[in-house]
Amino acid sequence: MTADPVFAALASPARRELLRLLLEEGAQPAGRLADRFDMSRPSVSEHLKVLKDAGLVAETRRGRERHYRLEAEPLMSVRDWLVPYERFWRGKLAGLRGLLDEMEDDHG
């Protein structure tokens, strides 16, 4: 229900890299993913578990391989969380523009 484990999962660069690989190269078995890392295979497996618990990846067993695929839906809750801050940011830009307009009025 909360976006909490999603934010926690995204805190690790290794896990964000895993998501990037799955996004750009599609679903892959765990071993092939692990090969890309300067880290032991079991450690990558742990990271995959964190992502899975956060709902960010799903696994499909194919023979003795486990293919992991991206599940982007939980990221949409991050986007939703971001919305009011984006509004705030735009508001600040608008305010700055207003200020610049005033300055132009003063000098022109």
Partner DNA sequence: ACTATATGTAGGATTTTTCCTACATATCAA
Partner DNA sequence: TTGATATGTAGGAAAAATCCTACATATAGT
Residues that bind its own copies (CB under 8 A): 4, 7-8, 10-11, 13, 16, 19, 23, 70, 72-73, 75-76, 78-79, 81-82, 84-86, 88-89, 92
For the CB of residue 72, give the shortest distance to its own copies in the complex, in Å. 4
Give Cα separations from 94 to 67, 87, 88 (angstroms). 47, 10, 10
Indicate which single residue of 16, 29, 71, 77 sits in contact with DNA (rule: CB under 7 A): 29
Indicate which single residue of 23, 39, 82, 96 sits in contact with DNA (rule: CB under 7 A): 39
For the CB of residue 23, give the shortest distance to its own copies in the complex, in Å. 6
Closest-CA residue to 71 (of 44, 97, 95, 53): 53
Indicate which single residue of 2, 63, 104, 108 sits in contact with DNA (rule: CB under 7 A): 63
Residue 103 has φ and ψ, to the nearest 5°, of -65, -40
Q: Where are the alpha helices (DSSP H) in 26-72?
A: 30-35, 41-53
Closest-CA residue to 67 (of 34, 21, 33, 27): 27
Which residues form the interface with DNA (CB under 7 A)? 8, 11-12, 14, 29-32, 34, 39-43, 45-50, 59, 61, 63-67
